[in-house]
């Protein structure tokens, strides 16, 4: 096989299973939560479709999880935290003066779909 024989194929996840979700009252609470769980390290949030969010994927180190990912395209997120934030801002500054970066991931169709789903949750 030589270099010209390489095939590149895009196969997005077929299903994202969210095991736990928390809707925060506002982006400030979401940013505060992010700072706390990051233990003072710099951590960022994602934004799309009017939703700011953070997720934790279940690592495919477990054989069952890895098999589900490969065989059926399912990925598990152990936790998703989110808040409505209609307008994108590159940072959120809390009243405690914590500054949390926000990344606009609107160009990612999969994460845009997740944000839309989150927005519909009550």
Model-level pTM?
0.84
Q: What pLDDT, on the 0 to 100 scale, is given for residue 12?
A: 85
Separation of alpha carbons 94 and 105, rounded Å: 22
Beta strands in 8-90 (DSSP E): 15-18, 21-23, 45-48, 51-57, 74-84
Q: What pLDDT, on the 0 to 100 scale, is given for residue 37?
A: 75
3-state helix, strand, coil in the chain (%, to 5): 30, 30, 40
> For every one of its 122 residues, what pLDDT tens digit does the chain have, with 9 covering 90 and above?
676 788 898 888 899 999 999 999 999 999 999 887 766 666 789 999 999 999 998 877 777 777 777 888 888 899 999 999 999 999 999 888 888 999 999 999 999 999 999 999 97
Q: What pLDDT, on the 0 to 100 scale, is given for residue 70?
A: 80
């Amino acid at each position: 096989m030589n270099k010209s024989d390489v095939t590149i194929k895009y196969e997005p996840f077929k299903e994202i299973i969210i095991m736990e979700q928390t809707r925060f009252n506002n982006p400030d609470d979401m940013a505060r939560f992010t700072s706390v769980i990051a233990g003072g390290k710099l951590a960022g949030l994602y934004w799309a479709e009017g939703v700011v969010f953070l997720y934790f994927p279940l690592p495919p180190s477990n054989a069952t999880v890895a098999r589900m990912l490969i065989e059926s395209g399912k990925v598990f997120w152990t936790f998703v935290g989110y808040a409505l934030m209609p307008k994108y801002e590159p940072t959120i500054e809390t009243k405690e003066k914590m500054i949390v970066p926000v990344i606009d991931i609107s160009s990612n169709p999969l994460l845009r779909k997740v944000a839309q789903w989150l927005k519909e949750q009550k």
